[in-house]
Structure 1
């Protein structure tokens, strides 16, 4: 039993004999991962920073659907390739060049681990009566242990969290509506373009931030799993879970004001009551955060291994090495959580929007390459060979990525930086739209030029080189 539960693979291809599950598993995992307190805070930010209830909710819906669609397209890559998400970036950026977006992805994982630990630490501290700092440390240790066990446990906890957290959110929603004058809140609708675009950006960035690791959790699905089914189950689970949480956050922020901002966890639990109910809600908050924090820990270790192996030529990882990488992510995230726990709300909003600047160009390049250029086919052994088809560094793709990042800066709005073109747009942040469209067009044009000049694109027509490392031909 233990041997089957503890995952043995890391960045290597999952062979057909080890594939299992159905596309519906993506719905349960991503529903559970999004029914949690950080998504509540993300929705609340749309109101905290000036939006009204109606247009904030509409903006969050649009962002969740748009960003969720991009994220789900990445998820659909998992069953076809049987690989973690970011190792696929070697086909676009080169075996070693992929370290550029990977470095930023690792920062993302540490940041999300830290932000999740702050909120979950409050819940664990209240539940155990040990206080916030011990709560953060306990939560981090459990997250690391679960990530070490791996894929099967992650999905199992996601299923359990989805059911328990859904029931808790139904209960909390009923209690909130008993306090809130919903008619008055909905009547106070005043469209403000910058605030509307902020709401879209908040939820879009939430979804897009899953893109660098979403295929990690679909790569064990059978190769015959429908791309369409994987896409729709991932999108529906993630969009439904996040919108549910964010709508709750909007209503909480609109009714609670400063009381919610002072202590998000305590206020939400206070809605439910005291005694055993409060203890149960603290447990629910910790469970919801545990699901997503394990994803961040697991994805972070996967990204570090991918970065290191590109230079060392490593294709497999020992259990000891796996434990070391997971410990590194856990320690770094915990340190950031302890240092930043007193300025969480503003810092988290800026963190989300600034991250979006770096991940939208990566998503655009990866999706254009996989779906439009390579037609869902990669030479898998070449992904580990710096002298192979994809090369060591693809400077053209890295240039497109850098251009995509740079072109967003004039349109970016954060607490510590505002671009020069924001004011003419009335304060609206459209940087993520620029970051998706411009790199996609540039990369497609670059690939088209290579085809026209006779240079082999990222993945040429099918031939004998398209084989799994164990020798079975790709379909």
Structure 2
């Protein structure tokens, strides 16, 4: 079982005798997952929507560090619990109440699958000469097959992509710097607070969006794995990879303008050359997107199972069921990709900021509960029992989650909605800061009043009840 390539586990806890690997695996996985074309486009958005290159680079770094730290705190939960990330949310929201944030998580995965497929479809279409639509379809099928194999292939992809994509981005970076005047691109040092905060928000939302599934990829690590090591290797990989890609995107957008907007993938490839070089770069772009899209598909099916199983009482999933859930994610994501491929850039920016509104309160509640209230102590069998210590619905956490969302609305700035406090702040969007701080404080104040549901130590099986 432990040596099988095809994963058998899904939402069930990973036993100690099936644990393997070292914390360093989180570095290669998240480095490879972030050295890819969508991260390049995300960085470019900071300039495309009005920011200067110099302060955009700094804003993106701040956002990647802040969001990456939150994301890495989630990663450190994996070895301790041996569970997918969203299963642990049942301890805060209830076995069935966790479906509320889970619905939005599934929307996120479908959206990221779609956005990744648009860009990867361009690369696959050019590489195979089939065109973008066929490229999207081919890419979607390969993604689904990889996700069905599961955890081991995810980490293999991460290791391969971390090396291949790093070499490709190093080459492209040299080619870009040879074509542009770096001093001129960074010459504008005028500070614009709204644009700076937009850059911070873009990067922070990029990192926070990994939060609902990051522990899925650390849960097979041995239980004794250092939480600090897991945290720091995850943070190093995700921050280095994303900042590298986004900085490249900033410089491309600052120097290329409309040429980049017309066809992001083809323009990036054109920096490298033609012929065989171009084909290799299209392959690298497809490989980078395959890595992250497999993560999104895998996380999507985990979230769907978590939500539905809370009502059905499932503790495990068959291979046939696994394939069916993955197929649903693939079909939905592909449909969105085909429908939205012509308005990609504008839609993607709003999608990122939209996600941030709903996931910062979830992250705040989950982390406060894990580190400050429960202090890493959970009754794992009870996470599947709506009549157990966590109950079916935990209305205190759900109420805090709702307040966290509503509290952000006055500070939110998107094309389809702008809050009343955005203009007094000079157009700056600080909603994600409110979305972290308000629910974190409220949940801490409420949850600490009643801790009778918290076991004295983590319970891993129904037979094991801790002393005290």
Q: TM-score range by the shorter chain?
A: over 0.9
Q: Find the residue that maps to 1:316 and give its secondary structure.
A: coil
**What residue number does 2:93 align with?**
93
C-alpha deviations, 1:277-309, integer Å up to 9, x for none?
000000000000000000000000000000110
Q: Is residue 54 of structure 2 the alignment partner of residue 54 of structure 1?
A: yes
Q: Given the two structures, how large is their TM-score scaled by the length of structure 1?
A: 0.97
Whole-Å separation in 2 of the counterparts to 1:120 and 1:186 = 30
Partner of 1:198: 198
Q: Which residue of 1 aligns with 2:266?
A: 266
Q: Does the 8 A contact of 2:2 with 2:18 survive in 1?
A: no
CA distance in 2, matches of 1:371, 1:3: 33
Paired position in structure 2 for 1:306: 306
User: Could you say what secondary structure the match of 2:315 adopts?
Assistant: coil
CA contact (8 A) 1:468 1:474 kept: no
Q: Secondary structure at the match of 1:429?
A: coil
User: Structure 1 residue 403: deviation in Å?
Assistant: 0.3
SS at match of 1:204: helix
Q: Give the SS at the match of 1:90.
A: helix
Q: 1:208, 1:391 → 2: CA distance?
A: 27
Matched ranges for 1:305-344 at <5 A: 305-344=305-344
Task: Describe the SS at the equivalent of 1:92.
Answer: helix
SS in 2 for 1:142: helix
Aligned to 1:230: 230
List 4+ stretches of structure 1 deviating above 2 A: 448-451, 469-475
**CA deviation after TM superposition for structure 1 residue 470, in Å:** 7.5
Change (3 A) 1:276 1:360: same
Q: Spell out, residue by residue over 1:48-80, the C-alpha distance to the aligned partner (whole angstroms, 9 max, x if none).
A: 011111100000000000000000000000000
Counterpart of 2:460 in structure 1 is 468
Tell me the distance in 1 between the aligned counterparts of 2:28 and 2:129: 32
Q: Provide the rounded CA distance (Å) in 2 between the counterparts of 1:317 and 1:351.
A: 31
SS at match of 1:461: coil
1:417-456 matches, cutoff 5 A: 417-450=417-450, 456=452
The aligned length equals 467
Specify the alignment match of 1:106 in structure 2. 106
| Matching residue of 2:160 | 160
Deviations 1:244-275 (A, max 9, x none): 00000000000000110111000000000100
CA RMSD of aligned residues (A): 1.3
1:136 aligned onto 2:131: no
Asked if residue 127 in structure 1 is aligned to residue 127 in structure 2, the reply is yes
CA contact (8 A) 1:41 1:249 kept: yes
Distance 2:311 2:206 in 1: 31
Q: Distance in 2 between matches of 1:19 and 1:344?
A: 40
TM-score normalised by L of structure 2: 0.98
Partner of 1:207: 207
**Secondary structure at 1:97 match in 2:** coil
Supply the distance in 1 between the matched residues of 2:466 and 2:59 (Cα, whole angstroms): 42
